[in-house]
Structure 1
């Protein structure tokens, strides 16, 4: 397998996905159809902008970033993108942009010319000096050049101020821009070649760790690894480990079940880093055992007020993910470390999410399912759903394995008994023979919607064979779930099927991944391989990697986030599986 890095030249569309750096919270974009850049901060900054979702509507930190000539007129450019560098071709020569570190950008400028940079910034204070200056906003923007400064001025505006820096270059001229909570002293300019090589080496080290896959998978495989690593945040505030956001643009922070899926991919290159994705959430376990829905630098999310106020988490997948890591890189000490927190996490689900105490757990907020707007929740909550009980069955089976591995044989036996009892409860409370699937219930009434949630207990691997056959018949039914594009998140013949609307019809790679595992687990290898092949093909047929896909066209959903972490993680793991084809 050749260099994955080489496969990514001009594959990163920075009109929609960020040019960033592993660990950084800086994200560079170009405006569509214009020779201008802007810089977003991948931070929620709730102390400056109240509200946990305010970041989604916040203006860029730097806007209208333009290269200018000696007359301060904007330069048009063509940009060549690579993970480690942006190369801008202008009438005055080539400009190279690289990261020096997580908070510092370096523009290398053409030799022997007058050239500069202009951008808008919300400036509270400005302290110029002979090489550049410092702008104080809700973060410091520090800039400096090793070239002769001709113009260095800040023009105040109503909302934004305009910074203009024009320099006269000789050789190896650069402009360094550092954005963060601290002022760096001094800013230094490395050589063009050194800056480029250092940035290239950072990315090459990541890509070199990736297992080989067959050639057909390699272009998207390279993009998937770039997506995952480009979304990385270094430790800061509540984020106590190197972690991976679903998206540096659309989902700032980390989410519980996303982290589990990211860990599944990361185990292939760095098992310790994969384990840290689990530790990142256990570090914020609540006194009652609950784990947060999401964590970000300056906050954690354990409650949301829409569509109703309730505690919010995500499906319990951490034990499942931990065993996937363990299968590749056994670590008994880690299993011992996480065992008790996961026991408390399991206890919370049964104590706080089972109002009628029948042992069949419910969701008290739709978002705790991870499938936020699925029509299963249209009638209201709480909903007793087969999917959450399946997750809990898998968690208890995982806890049985962990307990046995760390020398707690009696507890392991108890987990096996509890898992078997839960399976009996799932069948007793939820199996609907008339529909030949498992029902979700609100106020003890069956919810008349058909989605993959109604098939989830297949993943237990322990259903009676006749139930397995009936569920598989639904998966193979072209009016419901089967086809070139599968699995839709609502059955195609359901009145609430919408092929493009988030969890109301589109295809999601994570759900497919669970069903691939479920089918292989019961020996349905041909169908599992078919679903795996179609999942990989769906992702490969599009430029980029997206949150979800239209169930009729196979194109990205109209509101799907690009460069999405768990789709990348699923693709990585499935490409490795398919290249090794373990389904024998």
Structure 2
């Protein structure tokens, strides 16, 4: 759905604003959207629509006819209505990880006293699973949910609850899937007087959550201004952290990026043990799970305004790191799996993905977080786990033991054919349908005769550039926590990887880096695979020689190659596989653009890096302005593609705006 959802504080539900033209919905916030464990669904078009009835005339105050101002601000949704003698201001903020606080401030701006009845009404949207149903709550209305286990569509336990509770006595009547709540007694306002109504809207996922959350919201409704102040202070900290640009236009992109990242923040629930970040609350498949390399990139962006939250994002993946005690896969000790979600496979989860990992950028992310808060305790706690993850790559993904890894797959029931293994390996690269994997074959990796994993029959330039960078970051971390001998070891190993990439993965004739076959032939020769964005990663990692970098920069800045209308397509425009609307065969992904730009900067091409950053911001549809940040973009037109409100795109834009604009 192309709609900008507002969520905050790690909540598992969110809201949107009605348009000023949608007069039937004024007085309510669109939604809520709620996450049925792993999938996003709308509960209502507007579940708590406020209406006011003038007691003297017994007529409804026509909010639909009022002068309406509908606005979204960082940390806040607002509707304000002005009509003769009355001003009504509705505001919604998230005050806990399960509850939003809504206030309605009603002011008598006329010359005569007013007596008003406040009412709220709403209806459930039809649901194919018939899961939600209405009942009266304690001083409000409640939605309960049946147990449904539709793995690829809708999952509830039967304990979920959405509850609206008011700060004053109310009566509620229910008719099938609709309700009306009336406040008792009426509101009496003398000229110039103001009355504030407050209610909470809570979405809890288990019975254990419901009781404590009810206690919290009782306190919130009693002291709303205290909790509003806390939310405002948090958002002021966020905005102060990103408001360091001199150009307002680019600063606004940074603020939009923060709003996107916070909107995709999910707090612990189900199998999720730490605060993490989903790719997009706006897209059904991306609302309830955490991906590994998404997390590393999102953490780097989040660290710019909330390093403590960024640390939690890292733990959200390392909480599930495979250990030697695993009964089913001890050979994968140290592995960080591709995807975790609310449900494990034992609980019916289909999105949980253990069959592959994702590119190793965790030490980079940890070091970037440390640069923001200098929390040595975080580095000390995470370092041994980073080491285990780094070692896992060489134990299970280095087929010939030469210190150069390959993308691959685990020994897993889902990896039951060569086709399945190639698919898992492509997923492991993060570039699911990239041309370089079209003709790949599978190699078995064994340790003392025991099968421990699979590799593709090609050594990937991005993977080994990432691993080179990880060694450098592990060395920095080791130095910081007092393990200088380990730091020296990692730097020596990094030198070996750098020499290998320079010698074998750079193709002199075309001036670019490529994956190579196991006999060290670049794929452009072995399989006719054209240039692709992974060839820029050696610059980001600092692996290339100065001469190699110069050749790569010539390709990156060539309008017939990567310097398209929107720069840095995933496959070069000259490549036979180029398709501008295909995921990893032509789309522009902003994380890869960020890596390319940072590579240009690293080798001294600062002016080019800034120029291409500006081109990216100005040519990407909606990057400037109030349109949502998207998953990827068309390189020839700048058109927004695929999921809106996408986290790693937001993280990339935030860091680019701060570092280059």
Q: What TM-score comes out, normalization by structure 1 length? A: 0.82
SS of corresponding position for 1:112: strand
- Computed over aligned residues only, the root mean square deviation of the Cα atoms, in angstroms, reads 3.5
SS of corresponding position for 2:369: helix
What is the distance in 1 between the residues matched to 2:293 and 2:310?
13
Q: What displacement does 1:491 show?
A: 0.6
Partner of 1:479: 560
SS of corresponding position for 1:24: coil
Residues 75 and 67 of structure 1: CA distance in aligned 2, closer, same or farther (over 3 Å): farther
Per-residue CA distance 1:387-410 (angstroms, 9 max, x = gap): 111111111122222233333333
Q: What displacement does 1:386 show?
A: 0.8
SS of corresponding position for 1:416: helix
Partner of 1:8: none
Per-residue CA distance 1:432-460 (angstroms, 9 max, x = gap): 33333223256764451321113322334
1:141 aligns with 2:162: yes
Structure with bigger gyration radius = 2
SS of corresponding position for 2:640: coil
What is the distance in 2 between the residues matched to 1:564 and 1:400?
32
1:96 aligns with 2:179: no
- The question of whether the paired residues in 1 share the 8 Å contact of 2:590 and 2:632 is answered with yes
Residues 512 and 123 of structure 1: CA distance in aligned 2, closer, same or farther (over 3 Å): closer
Partner of 1:105: 100
1:63-212 map, 5 Å = 65=47, 67=49, 76=64, 79-82=70-73, 83-87=75-79, 89=81, 94=88, 96-99=90-93, 100-109=95-104, 112-113=116-117, 115-120=119-124, 122=130, 127-128=135-136, 131-137=139-145, 138=158, 139-146=160-167, 149=170, 151-155=172-176, 161-167=177-183, 169-170=186-187, 171-180=195-204, 181=206, 182-183=210-211, 184-185=213-214, 188=218, 189=221, 199-212=231-244
- The question of whether the paired residues in 2 share the 8 Å contact of 1:544 and 1:562 is answered with yes
What is the distance in 2 between the residues matched to 1:194 and 1:310?
44
Residues 197 and 150 of structure 1: CA distance in aligned 2, closer, same or farther (over 3 Å): same
The more displaced of 104-113 and 213-222 is 104-113
Partner of 1:280: 316
The more displaced of 286-295 and 103-112 is 103-112
Q: What displacement does 1:61 show?
A: 3.5
1:157-556 map, 5 Å = 161-167=177-183, 169-170=186-187, 171-180=195-204, 181=206, 182-183=210-211, 184-185=213-214, 188=218, 189=221, 199-216=231-248, 217-250=250-283, 251=286, 252-287=288-323, 288-299=333-344, 311-364=355-408, 365-380=425-440, 382=456, 383-441=458-516, 445-446=526-527, 448-538=529-619, 540-541=623-624, 543-556=627-640
- The question of whether the paired residues in 2 share the 8 Å contact of 1:106 and 1:176 is answered with yes
SS of corresponding position for 2:582: coil
Residues 68 and 20 of structure 1: CA distance in aligned 2, closer, same or farther (over 3 Å): same
- The question of whether the paired residues in 1 share the 8 Å contact of 2:363 and 2:470 is answered with yes
What is the distance in 1 between the residues matched to 2:388 and 2:498?
20
Structure holding more strand per residue: 2
- The question of whether the paired residues in 1 share the 8 Å contact of 2:337 and 2:354 is answered with no
Q: What displacement does 1:522 show?
A: 2.1
- The question of whether the paired residues in 2 share the 8 Å contact of 1:15 and 1:29 is answered with no
The more displaced of 331-340 and 500-509 is 331-340
What is the distance in 1 between the residues matched to 2:479 and 2:201?
54
SS of corresponding position for 1:362: coil
What is the distance in 1 between the residues matched to 2:237 and 2:372?
21
Partner of 2:658: 576
Partner of 1:3: none
Residues 221 and 466 of structure 1: CA distance in aligned 2, closer, same or farther (over 3 Å): closer
Per-residue CA distance 1:457-485 (angstroms, 9 max, x = gap): 23342433332222222112211012442
What is the distance in 1 between the residues matched to 2:559 and 2:530?
17
What is the distance in 1 between the residues matched to 2:400 and 2:62?
67
- The question of whether the paired residues in 1 share the 8 Å contact of 2:2 and 2:282 is answered with no
The more displaced of 326-335 and 346-355 is 326-335
- The question of whether the paired residues in 2 share the 8 Å contact of 1:68 and 1:74 is answered with no
Q: How many equivalent pairs are there?
A: 544
Q: What displacement does 1:366 show?
A: 1.2
- The question of whether the paired residues in 2 share the 8 Å contact of 1:536 and 1:574 is answered with no
Residues 209 and 434 of structure 1: CA distance in aligned 2, closer, same or farther (over 3 Å): closer
Partner of 1:582: none
Residues 144 and 472 of structure 1: CA distance in aligned 2, closer, same or farther (over 3 Å): closer
What is the distance in 2 between the residues matched to 1:259 and 1:314?
10
What is the distance in 2 between the residues matched to 1:73 and 1:128?
26
Structure 1: gaps of 5 or more residues: 1-13, 46-54, 156-160, 580-584
SS of corresponding position for 1:17: coil
Per-residue CA distance 1:40-96 (angstroms, 9 max, x = gap): 224535xxxxxxxxx2xx542445637376799997585332331331649897361
The more displaced of 178-187 and 512-521 is 178-187
Q: What displacement does 1:237 show?
A: 4.2
The more displaced of 339-348 and 188-197 is 188-197
Per-residue CA distance 1:77-118 (angstroms, 9 max, x = gap): 853323313316498973614134332234445671353211
Residues 124 and 476 of structure 1: CA distance in aligned 2, closer, same or farther (over 3 Å): closer
- The question of whether the paired residues in 1 share the 8 Å contact of 2:7 and 2:262 is answered with no
Residues 64 and 379 of structure 1: CA distance in aligned 2, closer, same or farther (over 3 Å): farther
Per-residue CA distance 1:317-359 (angstroms, 9 max, x = gap): 1111222233444344433332221221111112212334444
Structure 2: gaps of 5 or more residues: 54-58, 107-114, 146-157, 188-194, 324-332, 409-424, 442-455, 520-525
